[in-house]
Amino acid sequence: MNQPVNVVLDIRQTSNPPTDAAELRALWTQIEQHLNGASLRDAEKVVVPLRDNRTCVLWIQDRLRAPERVDDSTAFSIRGVLEPAMVRHRCTTCSAEGKVTYAPFLCTGCGQGDRLGRVCDEHAVVIEGRMTATCALHRPSCACGAAATFWCNGEICRGRNAFCDRHRVGHPGGADMSYCPDCYRKEFPECAGPGCNSTGSIACEFVVDGKRATCGNAACARHAYRWQIFGPHKRGLGLCPDHARRLKSLEDRQIVFQIVAGTANRRRGQRSEARRTYIGLPRLTIVRHIFINSRSRKLDMVSIDRMFGELQHDSRTDNAVRRLLQEHEKIRKQDVAVFETDEKRGLELFDKLTAWLRARGRAEVADHISFADYRPRSNLLFVDVEPEYMGRFIGRGGAEKRAASNDLGVRVEVERK
């Protein structure tokens, strides 16, 4: 009896390979029919055509002992079967085409079962802006109906919306980031300055609705205005050109509201206690000078405090604004008390100044000046002088003003309007 021919059956590249013993026997029957009459001597690899345009491979282990011609007496011994790797996650698209392909990606639009919604490297659709894949059927669409090419990660969309190239706006600094038109306008608004093509990098913080909604415009550094309500060493409220011009036309209570609402907006979000303290309402002394600079109005501390109090107790006031005013209430009372003490001392010095002028035969000048302000820390007494008496009060080269300062022991200055 002839020695059997030792072979290894290779079905790794065979489409629809056998999955059980019966299918394997049926496959071998096709192989034997093809090999009948074939020469296997010196052959290492034999490609066997099968039905349905399929093929398999036989690897001959002992080529020298293989028969010159295969006939009915030729015996074969299958020493091993090289099977395709078991694919647990099959590509849904390939499976529909009768192919088995490993699918590392999970389509976010398909089912989530063990073999559902999987996509192979060839059929996976990954668009710019998010590391998620879909199959071709569930590729995201732009709102216009076209196939999307990128996810917008701008402030409005935050990666939730996809857009096509027709609605893509590139980052001004490079092409590796894109926005939809709305997010681009939000991120890089146009400057509100007339005829300016620059990006508005400073948002207008003017409150427009009586609550806390801001203007919405922005301006570049050249056209923006900083309203220094927090003093010279902190960043003031940003204003667009239009609202910067409108400051002087605001009423006193509107000025107070803008100061408080603007400060409340600055404190939005989760902040530490130190940060909240840093962003606080300005002292009444600063508010007084805001009125002088914005409206050429000199108000006493009591009047200013009264306007803050009225806003605090107004039922229409926003809760965040009311809390801010409540935090500020104790400081305002301290400022009023200090102001009353300082004003009393300032009026005493002003009376001495008018008496000094009368004693020098300058009663007419004394009748045309008025008390403006007194700053004890700087030992400064500010007075208002009617324009036609300015020269006579100051004297040639400031001699009269210096003499008054030396004799009274306080530096006398004219309040500039």
Encode pLDDT of 218-238 as tens digits. Answer: 999 999 999 999 888 889 999
φ, ψ at 239 (rounded to 5°): -130, 140
Distance from C-alpha of 55 to C-alpha of 78, rounded to nearest angstrom: 17
Give the Cβ contact number of residue 98 at 10 Å. 9
What is the pLDDT, as a whole number, of residue 211?
81
Distance from C-alpha of 187 to C-alpha of 181, rounded to nearest angstrom: 10
What is the pLDDT, as a whole number, of residue 289?
85
Residue type at 233?
Answer: H
In the sheet that holds 76-82, the strands lie side by side as 45-49, 55-60, 5-10, 76-82
Task: Specify the CATH architecture of the domain 340-414.
Answer: 2-Layer Sandwich (3.30)
Instruction: Name the stretches of the chain with pLDDT < 70.
Output: 1, 111-116, 269-278, 417
Instruction: Write down the domain spans for the chain.
Output: 5-82, 92-187, 226-339, 340-414
DSSP string, 26-88: HHHHHHHHHHTT---TT-SEEEEE-GGG-EEEEEES-GGGS-SS--TT--EEEEEEEPPPP-S
What is the pLDDT, as a whole number, of residue 114?
47
Distance from C-alpha of 104 to C-alpha of 118, rounded to nearest angstrom: 7
What is the pLDDT, as a whole number, of residue 203?
94
Encode pLDDT of 117-144 as tens digits. Answer: 889 999 999 999 998 999 998 999 999 9
